[in-house]
Structure formats: structure tokens, C-alpha cells
Amino acid sequence: MITGKYPSLRLRRTRKENWSRKLFEENTLSSSDFILPIFLMDGKNKKEEILSMPDVYRYSINRIAQIVDKAIENKIPMVALFPKINNKLKNDKGTEALNHNNLVCKGILEIKKKYKNQIGIMCDVALDPYTSHGHDGLLKSNVILNDETIELLIKQSILQAQMGCDVIAPSDMMDGRIGKIRKALDQNGYQNILLLSYAAKYASSFYGPFRDAIGSKKLLKGDKKTYQMDFKNTNEALREVALDIKEGADMVMVKPGMPYLDIIKSVKEKFKIPVFVYQVSGEYSLLANAIKNKIINENAIYESLMAFKRAGASAIISYYADRLNKIIK
Ligand code: PBG
């Protein structure tokens, strides 16, 4: 309720000094809001630049400690693992996803061995890092098969759970997978594994650098519009979220982030459940390059991240999560 009016009422009074601005802050950011994505690669002692993502690297398993140590020191609650596997291991069915000795499995084991429960691990469930066509599901005569894909996603989820993954995050957008994966996890004794559904995941041009990072960009046949959402739609996102909650999702993701703040807010207001947001690779690279070229200054990062909190996000996946001490001052 606004009472009074100008000239007796002046909102600038609250903004007058640093200390007064502090008292009127409505949102805050801290390291506990963040999830750090880590790209994994084969080999030993490797730390490789990703050309389309300034200051983001791929790490071989024996160098993960370098980044996880820092994440724990900076009080980041969770990391998310993404593999760039050798192209020779990719095929049309993405069978490497079910290999007990694949990069993600090795990554989980390495982190859990060293850090136990000091930090959470989240893993994507989807086939795109493993398929020769770059799609998240099985492809047959140009159609992504829904139910057949889910059978593989169930196996992928169980495998990751067996390895010690804490949060299973299906990012594939097949219909009905959340319920089926929850059921399979429960039947296998994994009742306490969290399920984070990428529920409102849009078919977006902002994923480009990520696909480059996991080596699927050049392979991708066509686009992902038959399973990821149309960016013209809002109600459809609410339906997706409603279904995933019913099927047993513990929390839901909105992705990308900054162009979809309206969706974060609507989902939060309507469902009152934890909403995670992914500041995706394209958003990251836009910011990073504009800052590098001195088009905008680095405070833009903090501003972009605070926008997620303002919109109602509980947690933020961001490639900046390894540099928060410079961002949150
Ligand atoms: C794959 C997946 C994607 C991202 C996370 N998991 C890309 C895609 O769907 O093509 C994007 C993340 C980013 O751009 O940072 N299922």
C-alpha cells in the first residue's frame, strides 16, 4: 500500500546512502544458491579451453580435484557433471551412457571417494553426449522415440545412482519420464535420491556453446523442437511443470534463464515449489565476451544473477559459480 505522495513522500530517501540501501534490499545472493557445472574429458592431466566459453575448461578425471576443492572452499553446495566423450564412442543408440566405466561414472566415483558428502553431485539424464546424431533420445526415421528412449534413461538414472550421484536431472524432455524414473529409483532402493526435472526446457539457440563443449554441435542432425518447448509458450510450461510434480519431481528447472524470467516467476507463484534456473552457456558467453570487449562492465554478472533470485529461483546453475568471490562483493 502506498501512502502519502510527493512532495512529502520521496522514495529516494531510502536510497540515499550505502547503509540505507542495504536495509531496503529485498533479495540477496550467496554461494549457497549456486550449482557449478563441470565438463569432463578423457586423458590424464588435461585442462582444455573451450573456445566458445571464455574461462571455462574441460578437466580430465585426475584434475577434477582442482575445481572441486575450490568449490567446497567457496561453499558451493553442488556440482553438475557433463562429459565430452571421444567421438569414436558415440553411436546412434548412445550405448556409452550405460557403460559403468564412462566419464560421468568415473567423475562421480572420484568426487565421492575424495569428498564423501561434503558436496552434492548432480547428473544430466539424456543421451546427447553419447549419440552420433547429437539428440537426447533414440532417433528412428527422423523421429525421436519417446517410450523407447525412457527405457534407456531409466537405466542411465539407475547407473548414476549406483555410482553415488545425489541428484538425478532428466534434461531430455521425453513425456512421462519423471514418473518412470522415480518408480525405478524407488524399486532399486534409491528412495532418497533427488529428482530434478528439467521441466520447462525450451528449444533454444542459447545452448550453442554447451554443445560445442560436449562435442555434439557438429553432430546434431536438425533441431530439438519436437521435444524441447516452443519459446512462444507459457501455459505449456505450466502444464509440463504440473505433470512433473505429479510424477514425483522434487524440484523443477527453467532453462534457459535470463530470457525466461517470466516463466520462473509464474512457476514459482503457481506451484510454490523449489525452482532451479540454468544460466545457460549462450547467456554466459554473451556476458563473458561483452565484458572481455569492454562493452559492459563486470557488474553485469551480479545483476544478471540477482534477477534470478528476484524472479523466484531457489538455486542457479551458472558457469560463473567458480568465481563468485569476485562477483558477490
Ligand atoms: C542436454 C543439455 C543441454 C544443456 C544441458 N543439458 C543442451 C541441449 O539440450 O541441447 C544446455 C546447457 C547450456 O547451454 O549451458 N540435454
Domain of residue 206, CATH code: 3.20.20.70
Mean pLDDT of 270-286: 98
Q: Is 23 inside a domain boundary?
A: no
Residue 43 half-sphere exposure, CB side, CA atoms within 13 Å? 12
Residue 256 half-sphere exposure, CB side, CA atoms within 13 Å? 19
Number of domains in the chain: 1
Q: What is the residue range of 273's domain?
A: 30-328
Q: Is 18 inside a domain boundary?
A: no
State percent of the chain over pLDDT 90. Answer: 98
Q: Is 9 inside a domain boundary?
A: no
Q: Is 1 inside a domain boundary?
A: no
Choose, from 201, 224, 268, 309, the residue flagged as catalytic.
201
Cα–ligand 1 centroid distance for 211 (angstroms): 7
Cα–ligand 1 centroid distance for 223 (angstroms): 13
Q: Is 41 inside a domain boundary?
A: yes
**Which of 104, 131, 136, 320 for mutating ligand 1's site (highest number of atoms within 8 Å of CB)?**
136
Distances (CA, A) of 77 to 1, 162, 281, 316: 38, 21, 20, 11
In which element (H, E) is residue 324 found? helix 324-327
Q: Which three cell numbers stand for residue 104?
A: 560421468
Q: Is 90 inside a domain boundary?
A: yes
Q: Are strands 315-317 and 194-201 parallel, antiparallel or unpaired?
A: unpaired
pLDDT value at position 1? 63
Q: Is 5 inside a domain boundary?
A: no
* CB of 135 sitting under 6 A from ligand 1: no
Cα–ligand 1 centroid distance for 119 (angstroms): 22
Taken in order 318, 320, 321, 327, the sign of the CA dihedral is negative
Q: How far apart are CA 273 and CA 277, in angstroms?
A: 13
Q: Is 39 inside a domain boundary?
A: yes
| pLDDT tens digit sequence for 129-179 | 999 999 999 999 999 999 999 999 999 999 999 999 999 999 999 999 999
